[in-house]
A and B are shown apart, each in its own frame.
Chain A
Amino acid sequence: MKLQQLSLFLENRPGRLEAPLAAIAAEGINILTLSLADTAQFGILRLIVRDWEKAKRILEQAGWVVNLTEVVAVDVLDRPGGLAGALRILEDANLNVEYMYAFSLRRDDKAILIFRFEDPDRAIQVLLDQGLHVVDGDELMTFVS
């Protein structure tokens, strides 16, 4: 039920984002979604890609430090209150979100929320118990292809 997310360390200066993205693009790897967190001095690029093992290998061989993290994807209706409803469930269960990002799908009127939890297994149980739809890697790929 969990997705593998790749994280890269980047210095916060012009041109640093393009290089890793070009490296994986050259190998035909498409990005499903990404987020960028930054401070004044550095940033972290987080990527969800289909063939994460290949992408990780390419990036590491090119010299980047790559971290692999398990994240949880949930789909909600792409309308006002869709995200808030999911967050309320997590809050009621006292589950802390380390960070999250979201993207909407081009069909089905759905949005996908990507969550980073300290304890993803417990979070998945809570989400399922509350009737939310947790999207696994294979299913996510069918949504976006």
Chain B
Amino acid sequence: MLTELWNDAEGGFHPASAPDFLPRTALQEVQLRRLRAVVARAYQNVELFRSRMDERGLTPASIQSLQDIQHLPFTVKTDLRDTYPFGLFASPMSDVVRLHASSGTTGKPIVVAYTREDVEVWSEVMARTFASCGLHRGDILQNAFGYGLFTGGLGAHYGGETLGATVIPISGGNTDRQIMLIRDFNVTALCCTPSYFTHMIERARELGIDLRDLSLRIGIFGAEPWTDGMRHHIEAEAGIKAYDIYGLSEIIGPGVASECSAQDGLHVFEDHFYPEIIDPDTGEALPDGEEGELVLTTLSKKAMPMIRYRTRDITRLITEPCSCGRTIRRMRRVGRRSDDMFIIRGVNVFPSQVEAALMAVEGTLPHYQIILTRAGGLDRIAVEVEVTPEVFSDKIRGLEDIRARLAQSIERILGIRVDLRLVEPRTIARSEGKAKRVIDRRNEG
């Protein structure tokens, strides 16, 4: 049956997608069996997990039901730094076939490991991701996620091949060549960060190429938060369907959750990654449907299991059935990452709020950057916004008007005054990976 659906070009299914459609009770049986195994594995092989469980008087046998997961201690990002490089591995190096690492911009990088089985699971969940976004055998997938230590490139690569798509391993960067290959190779699907794709749209326009005229039909975007407004912009300007995917290296890389044809929340591949939502302040588990911090437990990871890993991502779980038929639960797209939040004059600000304010005025998202400075003990926030053809006027009054409207829109949402500066196109650095939206110079000099 699934194979038949798979042969239907529009089906969005793949044999690997079968667990997406398990009855809930069958899924929970799989989850509990795997949870008990992974907790035992972590307890036996990783000093940090064992000592924390011992402190609480817990043993692997304490896990009798899925609810018992709430007794287990959390794992946080600093645990990965503190045990750098290999302290959280549960497999001997002879079983580890791959290492990835974060860029480590804020100190020590974090290292993650995969056994051959882990790579297979990763390939499977990425194939399920692509199937969920409507890709199938015969699609030509341009993979513009960065290859290398970053998990995005290789994760998408293996998933695309497992799906049976034709993968072009172009990696990030060299935008003119990206556009040339989309055109010359009749690329039908592309994955990268949403900010890099908006840059591609902009560059294609400069080169006189309308992406809507090409065969590209699907974009798979992840690795940074983006908004629905950005999705509408991308879909209209490139003539594609744009899907949000979610993942993080600490858990596996991309492939933790993915949107489906409904574009209404991301299905978490729950048979491998167990999601919980907690109150970020108290650590208490919250009921389904409430907004809080996403906590994930890897149910099948071998080389580096994660028990109740705090993602810092704010979202909520949706339990209502999805129109696509998948039974695995969905999470709301992550609009804000508590890591991205900055505090200015006592106000918590997320870049996505600034984004929404800019979008409300311009209709599309301009390139922007938030710059925080400190002068005379007072924090200042400046927002630089590149002028676009849509808002540019030959009249000073027209530009002063747009500047004032952008500033007011941000001030209405944040409740603080901002210094809004219009800047020339292409003066804000473009990222070929994750966009850097906030520059904090408050502790410089």
A69 touches B427 (CB 8 A): no
Contact flags B425-440 to A (C-beta < 8 A → 1, else 0): 1110000000000000
Contact flags A54-74 to B (C-beta < 8 A → 1, else 0): 000000110111110100000
| Given A9-B387, A63-B206, A65-B389, A42-B422 contact (CB < 8 Å) | yes
If over half of A's interface residues share one DSSP class (helix, strand or loop), that class is named, otherwise mixed; here it is strand
The interface centre, meaning the residue of A5, A9, A42, A66 with most chain B CB atoms within 10 A of its CB, is A9
A46 touches B394 (CB 8 A): yes
* Distance, CA A67 to CA B402, complexed state (A): 15
List of B residues within 8 angstroms of A63 by Cβ: 206, 424-426
B394 touches A44 (CB 8 A): yes
Contact flags B404-445 to A (C-beta < 8 A → 1, else 0): 000000000000000001111111000000000000000000
B396 touches A44 (CB 8 A): yes
B206 touches A61 (CB 8 A): yes
List of A residues within 8 angstroms of B427 by Cβ: 11
B399 touches A9 (CB 8 A): yes
* Distance, CA A112 to CA B388, complexed state (A): 32
List of B residues within 8 angstroms of A67 by Cβ: 389, 392-394
B395 touches A9 (CB 8 A): no
Query: Does B82 sit at the interface, judged by CB under 8 A?
Result: no
A11 touches B206 (CB 8 A): no
B421 touches A41 (CB 8 A): yes
Output the least CB separation between B205 and chain A (Å). 9
A7 touches B394 (CB 8 A): yes
Query: Interface range on chain A: under 10, 10 to 19, 20 to 34, or 35 or more?
Result: 20 to 34
List of A residues within 8 angstroms of B393 by Cβ: 7, 67
* Distance, CA A116 to CA B422, complexed state (A): 23
| Given A42-B399, A44-B399, A60-B206, A65-B425 contact (CB < 8 Å) | yes
* Distance, CA A44 to CA B399, complexed state (A): 9
Query: Does B29 sit at the interface, judged by CB under 8 A?
Result: no
List of B residues within 8 angstroms of A16 by Cβ: 424
* Distance, CA A99 to CA B388, complexed state (A): 22
Query: Does B400 sit at the interface, judged by CB under 8 A?
Result: yes
* Distance, CA A39 to CA B395, complexed state (A): 11
B422 touches A10 (CB 8 A): no
A65 touches B387 (CB 8 A): yes
List of A residues within 8 angstroms of B422 by Cβ: 9, 11, 41-42
List of A residues within 8 angstroms of B399 by Cβ: 9, 39, 42, 44
List of A residues within 8 angstroms of B394 by Cβ: 5, 7, 44, 46, 67, 69, 116
Query: Does A37 sit at the interface, judged by CB under 8 A?
Result: yes
Give the number of residues in B that approach A within 8 Å (Cβ atoms). 19
Looking across the interface, which residue of chain A has its beta carbon closest to that of B422?
A: A42
* Distance, CA A65 to CA B393, complexed state (A): 10
Query: Does A98 sit at the interface, judged by CB under 8 A?
Result: yes
A39 touches B400 (CB 8 A): yes
| Given A39-B396, A67-B392, A67-B394, A11-B423 contact (CB < 8 Å) | yes
* Distance, CA A116 to CA B426, complexed state (A): 29
Output the least CB separation between A56 and chain B (Å). 11
| Given A60-B206, A63-B206, A65-B387, A10-B424 contact (CB < 8 Å) | yes
B421 touches A9 (CB 8 A): no
List of A residues within 8 angstroms of B387 by Cβ: 9, 65
Looking across the interface, which residue of chain B has its beta carbon closest to that of A20?
A: B424
* Distance, CA A73 to CA B394, complexed state (A): 17
Looking across the interface, which residue of chain A has its beta carbon closest to that of B207?
A: A61
B424 touches A37 (CB 8 A): no
* Distance, CA A39 to CA B422, complexed state (A): 11
* Distance, CA A11 to CA B403, complexed state (A): 13
The interface centre, meaning the residue of B393, B399, B424 with most chain A CB atoms within 10 A of its CB, is B424
Looking across the interface, which residue of chain B has its beta carbon closest to that of A19?
A: B424
| Given A46-B394, A67-B394, A9-B424 contact (CB < 8 Å) | yes
Looking across the interface, which residue of chain B has its beta carbon closest to that of A41?
A: B421
* Distance, CA A39 to CA B393, complexed state (A): 14
* Distance, CA A92 to CA B424, complexed state (A): 40
* Distance, CA A11 to CA B393, complexed state (A): 14
Output the least CB separation between B419 and chain A (Å). 10
Contact flags A98-111 to B (C-beta < 8 A → 1, else 0): 11000000000000
List of B residues within 8 angstroms of A98 by Cβ: 395
**Known contacts A9-B422, A61-B207, A64-B425, then 11 further A-B pairs from the complex at CB < 8 Å, ordered by chain A residue:** A7-B392, A10-B424, A11-B423, A41-B422, A61-B206, A63-B206, A65-B388, A65-B392, A67-B392, A69-B394, A98-B395
What are the 9 closest A-B residue pairs judged by CB atoms, nearest first? A7-B394, A9-B387, A63-B426, A69-B394, A65-B392, A67-B394, A37-B396, A67-B392, A65-B387
A-B contact pairs, 28 of them (CB 8 A): A9-B392, A9-B399, A9-B424, A10-B424, A11-B423, A11-B424, A11-B427, A37-B396, A38-B396, A42-B399, A42-B422, A46-B394, A61-B206, A63-B206, A63-B425, A64-B424, A65-B387, A65-B388, A65-B389, A65-B392, A66-B389, A67-B389, A67-B392, A67-B394, A69-B394, A98-B395, A116-B394, A116-B395
